[in-house]
Structure 1
Amino acid sequence: METILTPAAIFAGTLFLVIRRPWNLNTGVSALLGALLALLAGSITLVDVESVIGIVWDATLALVAIMVISTLLEQAGFFRWAALHLARRAGGSGRGLFVAVILLATAVSAFFTNDATVLIVTPIVLEMVEALGFGHQALLPFAMACGFMADAMSIPLAVSNLTNMIVVRYFDLSFARFALMMLLPSLACLGVTTLVLLGYYRREIPRRVDASGLGEPAAAIRDPFLFRVGVAVVCGMILAFLFNRTAFHVPTSAIMTIGAVLLLLAALRNRVVEPWPAIRRAPWHVVAFALGMYLVVFALGKAGLTGMVAGLLQGLTARGLGVTVLGTGLLVALLSAGVNNLPGVLIGTLAVAATGAAGAIGEGMVMATVIGADIGPKLTPIGSLATLMWLHILEGRGLSVSWGRYLRTALVITPPVLLATLGALWAALRLMN
């Protein structure tokens, strides 16, 4: 009992610092302090630190590269251009605009990670709906759409979320196989989430909007050359991911780093936008937060949490594919909601590997782990760093969402989306195997 008390206390203290941010403490610094305390207390060793880095280095470097790419594209005006196009296509319908925001958040989460949706798309969408003259009551549905879709729709691709990258690297999954297996779950997630959000906010969303005053999408492009290079780089990276596992076996981070360097060179070509200030403003604390929280919860895992989760998962494997997929997804979802999805997916991944499950059962557990770690965190405000940053952004704009209000909303929206997505995964596994 004493063994687990120390890492549990360190985890609780770290989580307190991350949530409350005393002395305006950076979340990355808080997580690293927790990791250092775990090391000094003997809950983890330098060998453990090396093991964790060995698991997460590729995903972490890939996150750094995608942050540079998304920051430069934002400076070029790419995301604002996309937002204005979608707003105009809504045809004056409030619900049409709401669906357009959902689609924009989905696309950005899929190709540029959930953090990019929160940090870049949320402010753009809020500015857009404020320019349309929406009141405070009508702003919240659009803000919630960005915040919820950021994590929920980060399941389609291996690069959509740091959690996905960790699972893909650990189990050596191909980009194409991952995308194929997640196609049906992604469509189910998008469809059910859209319906649930529309139903939940049906009274707050205005019936009609006048988008004529938003300006032309082309006017949002600040650097046409960087814009064109950015589109080419993103398309090139997707192709590289598709062929990488079968032909080259290059780390994901290497492909993304090449893309980031090409975009940086394009930005430096004529300096229409200054890249360095934008890159300095990028949320680098996310990297420190991820590494620190991995180590803090790894200490919990060593003390028995991983073994306990593995035992529960092992018991599911004898009950058939459907029960295994549902049980794994729900267990990882609850774990991620309780301890944050970055360390949650690490524990879940190690636990799934410990079961030794193979074939359709093994693949189902791996994919259900991703779904649970991406959608499950929406149950609580602490479930993902993206949600914590989203709440901070809203507070800075005078749109405060209390924990009580968040939980009431999340407990209505998240369960049906999670269950539908896991059900679609089960159907995909049956079709593919």
Structure 2
Amino acid sequence: MIFLFTLILIIWQLRGLGIGLGALTGGIFTLVSDVSLMDELRVSATVGNTILTLIALLILCRILDEAGFWRGLALQLTVLGIGQGRLLFLLCGLLGALGTIVLTNVGMALIWISPVMEILCLLRLRAKTVFAVVFTVSFITEAASLLFPVSNPVNLLAVNYGDISGFRYSLVMTPVTFVAIATSLASLWFYFHRDIPVTYKLTHLPPPRQAIRDPLVCRWGMVILASLPLAYWIAQDHALPTWIVPAIAALILLGLAGRGFLPNTTPIISVGKVWQEIPWQLIGFSVLMYGVVLGLAQVGMSHVITHQLDALSSWGLTLTAIGTGFLATGLSNLFQNLPTVLLNAVAISDTTTEPAIREMMEYANVIGCTLGAKITPLGSLSTLIWFKVLARKGLRLHWFYYIRLSLILTLPILFLSLLSLALWFPWLIV
């Protein structure tokens, strides 16, 4: 009952109520029912590394956005596209994928969709073309977010809870990610290719350099972004929390943006504005939803899932991977993917199956909670942000149309990605 009431309030949020209110109300009700304060604090400790990492990366993204970095990149893509619409379609998706690998799918949803839409509108392309590109970017970023633990908060939660090394995770997920990206591009191109113009004209666009507001921050931003993967590896090798890496990077860019090393220089970027525009309500929503799902777990939800997973494990590796992924998909679209991946991780740890199958279930859980969560707007935070960005730009999308389109495109991508996991994973069993 608490969960259903929370879900209703969250849906109302999309009509202007505020996304944190539903989760806050559900979290409070959960606290005063059967879930102890200590359990709530334990959940906060479990997700603390993920939330701090997400905050630091969002600050990093916003600083670069204020510096004009992303708008300059979007303009540069139009030049690299040499007037070919199909090439521009591909470049927008691939750059979103590259950004996702180091800045998370949530960060790219916040800062990449807006400049892409702006540039496409400056090119005077049709509304159908604009929608085709931004929808493709949304799907490709989700597919690319499977690659590294830090590419998606879902991955980081699963890795932290399952005590999986970053190297082991990426070793398993690398071919799966390439399959997910390739099938996403193929499916989206098959569906949208009629809406992509053969050519476009660059006469209405300003030069890319004109979009850069703070060249110093942009130059150092490129160095920092290129260094993040190595920094993550070093942090893991020294058993440091993941959030330290993006936090240091964000502090460096904050210092550069605020010109703290040059007292007599007026900063170009307002550090206060960067701080204010971080979606704190969204972060609070994520934390509090864990409390609601924890309540469901304590009243037996995790035991039900464990029983289903134990039954799946007798079907063999392939069916176990596909079944676990589709189970995670259904729960993600009902409970939201961040709490779901943790709920399923608890259930997987309680299964009685052999360790190798249990480990594969953990990866299938991540795939289902990432790719499968795209089916409904409430399935993932990145999709909710994507909807808000579209609405801010004047492109309002009906839920029914989105769900129908997403369902058609998501299911084959999800199935092939899970199948690739089932085919690849047996080669890695020690």
Within 5 Å, which residues of 2 pair with 1:306-385?
Answer: 306-355=302-351, 357=353, 359-385=355-381
Match of 1:44 in 2: 35
**Do 2:332 and 2:373's aligned partners in 1 also have CA atoms closer than 8 Å?**
yes
Q: Are 1:179 and 2:175 counterparts? A: no
Once the two structures are TM-superposed, the CA of residue 387 in structure 1 deviates from its matched residue by: 1.3
Q: Are 1:53 and 2:49 counterparts? A: no
Once the two structures are TM-superposed, the CA of residue 121 in structure 1 deviates from its matched residue by: 0.8
Q: Are 1:29 and 2:33 counterparts? A: no
Q: Which runs of 4+ in 1 moved over 6 A?
A: none
Amino acid at match of 2:361: M
Amino acid at match of 2:363: M
**2:102 pairs with one of 111, 130, 145:** 111
Amino acid at match of 2:96: A
Within 5 Å, which residues of 2 pair with 1:233-312?
Answer: 233-246=224-237, 248-269=238-259, 271-312=267-308
**For 2:150, what is the secondary structure of its paired residue?**
coil
2-structure distance, mates of 1:356, 1:159: 29
Within 5 Å, which residues of 2 pair with 1:209-220?
Answer: 209-220=200-211
**For 1:177, what is the secondary structure of its paired residue?**
helix
**Once superposed, what is the RMSD of the aligned Cα atoms?**
1.7
Give structure 2 stretches of 5+ with no counterpart. 260-264
CA change 1:429–1:22 in 2 (3 A) is closer
Match of 2:427 in 1: 431
Amino acid at match of 1:30: G
Q: Are 1:410 and 2:400 counterparts? A: no
Normalised by the size of structure 1, how large is the TM-score?
A: 0.93
The one-character-per-residue Cα deviations of 1:188-224 (angstroms, maximum 9, x if unpaired) are 1111101111111122222211134323223322222
**Do 1:360 and 1:429's aligned partners in 2 also have CA atoms closer than 8 Å?**
no
2-structure distance, mates of 1:233, 1:144: 28
Amino acid at match of 1:85: Q
Q: Are 1:14 and 2:10 counterparts? A: no
Give structure 1 stretches of 5+ with no counterpart. 1-8
Match of 1:5 in 2: none
Amino acid at match of 1:27: I
Report percent identity of matched pairs.
32
Q: Are 1:131 and 2:144 counterparts? A: no
**Do 1:115 and 1:150's aligned partners in 2 also have CA atoms closer than 8 Å?**
no
Larger CA deviation: 403-412 vs 418-427: 418-427
Larger CA deviation: 206-215 vs 291-300: 206-215
Amino acid at match of 2:193: R
**Do 2:236 and 2:242's aligned partners in 1 also have CA atoms closer than 8 Å?**
no
2-structure distance, mates of 1:293, 1:163: 14
CA change 1:22–1:407 in 2 (3 A) is closer
Once the two structures are TM-superposed, the CA of residue 23 in structure 1 deviates from its matched residue by: 7.8
Once the two structures are TM-superposed, the CA of residue 359 in structure 1 deviates from its matched residue by: 4.2
2-structure distance, mates of 1:176, 1:221: 36
2-structure distance, mates of 1:149, 1:36: 36
The one-character-per-residue Cα deviations of 1:251-309 (angstroms, maximum 9, x if unpaired) are 01122211211111121225222222122111111210101111111111111111111
The one-character-per-residue Cα deviations of 1:297-328 (angstroms, maximum 9, x if unpaired) are 11111111111111111122232222221111
